Amino acid sequence: MIENLIDINFPKEGEEWKPEFTPKIEEASYEEFENLRETVLKASEPLVRDDDFREIRDQAIEDPLAFYAPYHHVGDKYGIYFRIYRMIDDFKDFISKYYKFINKELPGINIWDIWEVYFATIFWHEMTHHIVEDIATVMEWKNLGTYPLLSRKAEERFCEFVAFARIRLVSLLFVSCRSLIDEIRKRRSQIMVKSIRSRPTWLKIKTVILSCLYYHWNRDDPNSTYRPIIEPEIPQIINGL
């Protein structure tokens, strides 16, 4: 029974996450951005550990908007390190290009809903690096492999596949960065547009924003290290785990 569930649900070689929307880029400014920037930076202060970051950076998996520091290499300093200033700059570029399209598909959407999907996508990519490391640990116990298990390209593509696919399946407000998430909750409740007669469902919100992120991050490039596709070594090495 369990084996059947694994076989049905585990991504297959060549499986790829693809967006449901093809967004149109229309440059625009968004007046709420500076408010978001100030709030996110203030709420992120307790999360920033510059000394730790400098110490682990050379041993971490470096992604454009975050790092994952494996416990195999850095001990108790392991974990996800968000590159918050880069994230804010990239998010500003993202909404300046795609806000008009997003607002057309999701009338009255506020910037905190967009940021929440953006933040969670980055989180799940890095969290999958952690899960892959845990799988390696199990395999090491059984003398079946060692960390790192995967080539960099295969792991990055798998992490991005999981991130895009996972966001559609889960509630977004979940991570342990409480100060940041609590602030998002508060701000979003304060600025909800009361004139909206029927607010879009979270599934629609996530589907539209993920589609825009896919093109914003150039995940449609077949040569991208981060293209969300399952390389052959993924099911061969970690299927079932």
Q: What percent of the chain has pLDDT over 70?
A: 78
Contact 44, 58 (CB under 8 A): no
Quick one: which of 93, 64, 109, 91 has its CA closest to 208? 109
Task: Check pLDDT > 80 for residue 50.
Answer: no
Q: Select the highest-mean-pLDDT range: 25-39, 47-61, 161-175, 201-215.
A: 201-215
Name the more confident of 27 and 9: 27
In degrees, rounded to 5, the angle at the alpha carbon of residue 71 between the alpha carbons of residues 140 and 172 is 105
How are strands ordered across the β-sheet holding 61-62?
Answer: 61-62, 66-69, 79-82
- Number of Cβ within a 10 Å radius of residue 26: 12
Quick one: which of 35, 31, 45 has its CA closest to 184? 35
**Average pLDDT in the chain:** 84
Least confidently predicted of 74-83, 118-127, 194-203 = 194-203
Quick one: which of 163, 166, 150 has its CA closest to 234? 150
Name the more confident of 47 and 34: 34
Q: For residue 2, what pLDDT is reported?
A: 55
Task: Check pLDDT > 90 for residue 21.
Answer: yes
Identify the band that residue 191 occupies on the pLDDT scale cut at 50, 70 and 90.
Answer: very low
Identify the band that residue 160 occupies on the pLDDT scale cut at 50, 70 and 90.
Answer: very high
